[in-house]
Copies of this chain bind each other. A is one copy, B any other.
Amino acid sequence: GDARFGIVHDSSVSADNTGIHNRFTLNIDAATETDSGLEFFARVRVRGENTGVDGDPVTPGNQANASGVSAPRVGVRAGGVEVAVGNIKGAIEEMPGLYGGEVGLTALGDLNAVAKTTRTSDNWDMFSSAGGGANGAEVLYSGNGISGHLSHSPVSDRTALFAAYEQDTWFVAGGYQTGDLSIDDKVILTAGATFGNFGVGAGYADNDGTEKWRLSGTARVGAATVLTAFVADDESATETLWGVGFNHDLGGAEFVGGVVSDEDGENQADLGLRFNF
């Protein structure tokens, strides 16, 4: 699992616009293997957090939320193929490069993700860390640099697919989603490459006609610090989106912060510490 804590700021909130953020994530993984080599697995996740602004209460009398335990994801894998049902991961969520260019302790609204627009929001299936999720089914394949993922949920009525090719220093990926709601239709393309201490990435999506693209880059400065920046254009947003962030390795934990400018040109920022256990 992992945990993080720090300060978050949102200039679009008029009062109490700076808050204390914390998040705790513990995966409970169970697995067993048959004599013939099939590996059965199940996961639930314990997740607790206070986002610090917006949804969480900061007024007297309101209490923060308890942690939740997610619905299970249960399945079987053999060779490079995995089949799972329940609280599925979702093909769009797992597509390489979807979150390329991410900045900050908290990802600051995932403005870098081309599948998320002001008009459509993040309308794809993903593992719910403290809730029920999409109760779907999915098949994943990975081998020889090729990966693919097909997911479907009868709850969300979304079917999604990605295919990707990854080498040591570059990747390309394409994703597709269709749903009962036409707003759920998506075509997504991502790519990325690294050159020594530098990395570049790009993404494009047609979200039911709403186009979004993103360019991002990372630069290693010194032994332990990486800078990240992105710029993105969302057809349904008033302003150009951008973000910059840093990640400093403490040798067992990370000191992380970032600033973004959102669809209205308002700024959000965060700063804090993150660690795995």
> Interface on A for B, CB 8 Å cutoff?
1, 3-5, 16, 19-24, 26, 28, 30-36, 38, 40, 42, 44, 46, 48-50, 56-60, 62-76, 85-87, 128, 130-137, 154-157, 180-181, 250-253, 273, 275-277
Contact = CB atoms under 8 A, between A and B. Distances in A.
Nearest to A130: B66
A181 B85 CA distance: 41
Contacts of A70: 48, 66-67
A58 B154 contact: yes
Nearest to A28: B26
B250 A34 contact: yes
Contacts of A31: 277
Contact of A24 (B5, B46, B74, B134): B74
Given A44-B67, A250-B34, A252-B32, A23 B72 contact: yes
Contacts of A16: 154
A276 B74 CA distance: 12
B72 A24 contact: yes
A49 to B, nearest CB: 7
**Residue among A1, A30, A38, A131 facing the most chain B CB atoms (10 A cut-off):** A30
Given A44-B26, A157-B60, A86 B5 contact: yes
